[in-house]
Structure 1
Amino acid sequence: MKETYSKETSGSQALRLFGLHGRRALVTGSGRGIGLALAVGLAQAGAALVINARNEQHAAAVAARLRDEGFEAEIAVFDVADAEGVTRAVDDIEARIGPIDILVNNAGIQRRAPLEEFAASDWNALMRVNLDGVFHVTQAVARHMLPRGRGKIINVSSVQSALARPTIAPYAASKGALRMLTQGMCADWARHGIQVNALAPGYFATDLNRALTDDPEFSAWLCKRTPAGRWGRVEELCGAAVFLASEASSFVNGQTLFVDGGLTSVV
């Protein structure tokens, strides 16, 4: 029998594909910046939130503000670089709050210095948070997702996974490694019903990029270099995150989605 379609049917199906109602999302480093914007975007699509930060008072204040705006939000206080603390926190979320359906690995740090002067302590700090932290959190969450046979994992990478700039070689190395870790997670877990993908933001006006946003020369160069002709706004990452967190991306796995105003598409 020939299937028929209507605008109403198509619209309802689209809403179902992209809707996150009944899903719970843990977003690391979601007290500010890109992490908070992604958390809000997922909540607007229907997801219940678990806000993560290292400072309990800050996390509680963010969650309270979100609840005042009508969203469902709990908190989980842990440092992504503390492997044992991560495991305890994830197990507590699963037992006390409920299953984690969506994980967004957003927590990250930046350090800038000429490579020949880059301190070993700064290198180690970058890798502990930007790479080791993703491994710790994802492993802890995946141990719960695997028996359920489903889950969505989104790693926040960067255009620096594909492009290098002076003074941030270690940061670029951490994000390049994260891009490959995303593919490795896909290789291990796709057959178990888990989709693992990465978002690679371009240049967005955040605290992490304050040194650049405050530099008129760099800002002018960036706007000229980027086909869109401007800095990104953090809320412009939300559509891509909702797509990767929803059933709309059910056969998308191991991919890195660049959200960069065209920066990596041109010479």
Structure 2
Amino acid sequence: MIEKLFSLEEKTALVTGASRGLGQAMAIALADAGANVICAGSRPGSADETAGIIEKKGRKSWSVFGDLSSSSEVEKLAEDANSCSRTIDILVNNAGTIERFPAAEYPTEAWERVIQTNLNSVYFLSRYFGAKMIERKQGKIVNTASLLSFSGGITVPSYAASKHAVAGLTKALANEWAVKNIQVNAIAPGYFKTDNTQALQNNKERFAEISARIPASRWGIPEDLSGAVIFLSSKASDYVNGHILTVDGGWMAR
């Protein structure tokens, strides 16, 4: 019974930002649980490596691409993914970007790029595939939030704004779609060793301050999200809706 609760056999997932880091780890985890996976990257061929790893596990996998900072490319990515598999049971809105500038000097172009990538694309992809899930009366949407869904950060106002909004959007969609048997939730990763946090890792003082607050006494690695994404994509979470699940080594508890 436990295996059936967490099994993703005969399911198809779309994971954005699947070329590396957290997205790649989540795409592979879904495949390990039985899913076929459409891997989306930002450039042609950027998700090929992830798709290849999944195919070697005996699952079907496809590589698609689109620059999520462009609304037209978001639409094209959705259509390309839909052409790979007419039924997408799981949507993982993971792709994101970050730009660091003091708030008073923040470039308009950087603000718009972060908001479009981190928030607008999440809504547009959720709307596109959510409508199809409503028709089938089932589906799972997992968004990537952040610890900055709860706090403001420093020199990342657009990122903090976008991740607060992702948490709110997750709850808003859950409120409407739970009755349609669609579960919409989010994972809020803590401090993970990825490209997005490289600036923090390179800052010895800031790295030490952050590390000292994590009860687990280490930064996360992408594979630490495997259990969370499988749970929120499987039958095990059928009565979980609008939840922001922190995977942070205990950061929020301290």
Q: Using structure 1 for the length normalisation, give the TM-score.
A: 0.91
Q: Which residue of 2 aligns with 1:172?
A: 160
1:220 maps to which of 184, 205, 208: 208
Q: Distance in 2 between matches of 1:109 and 1:204?
A: 14
Q: Which residue of 2 aligns with 1:3?
A: none
1:51 has 2:35 as partner:
no
1:156 has 2:144 as partner:
yes
Equivalent position SS for 1:30: coil
Flag the structure with larger Rg. Answer: 1
Q: Distance in 2 between matches of 1:61 and 1:165?
A: 33
Q: In the TM superposition, what is the alpha-carbon distance from 1:96 to its structure 2 partner?
A: 4.0
Equivalent position SS for 2:223: helix
Q: In the TM superposition, what is the alpha-carbon distance from 1:165 to its structure 2 partner?
A: 1.9
Unaligned runs of 5+ in 1: 1-12
Q: 1:96 to 1:242 in 2, by over 3 A?
A: closer
Aligned pairs (5 A) from 1:1-267: 13-266=1-254
1:222–1:230 CA contact under 8 A, matched in 2: no
| Paired AA for residue 245 in structure 1 | S
- The number of aligned residues is 254
Equivalent position SS for 1:140: helix
Q: In the TM superposition, what is the alpha-carbon distance from 1:219 to its structure 2 partner?
A: 1.7
Q: Which residue of 2 aligns with 1:4?
A: none
1:80–1:136 CA contact under 8 A, matched in 2: no
Q: Which 4+ runs in 1 deviate beyond 4 A?
A: none
Q: In the TM superposition, what is the alpha-carbon distance from 1:211 to its structure 2 partner?
A: 0.7
2:28–2:53 CA contact under 8 A, matched in 1: no
Percent of matched pairs sharing the same residue: 39
Bigger shift: residues 212-221 or 106-115: 212-221
Q: In the TM superposition, what is the alpha-carbon distance from 1:69 to its structure 2 partner?
A: 4.0
2:94–2:143 CA contact under 8 A, matched in 1: yes
Q: Distance in 2 between matches of 1:120 and 1:88?
A: 25
Q: Distance in 2 between matches of 1:69 and 1:240?
A: 20
Equivalent position SS for 1:100: coil
Q: Distance in 2 between matches of 1:104 and 1:87?
A: 16
2:46–2:65 CA contact under 8 A, matched in 1: no
| Paired AA for residue 134 in structure 1 | V
2:32–2:57 CA contact under 8 A, matched in 1: no
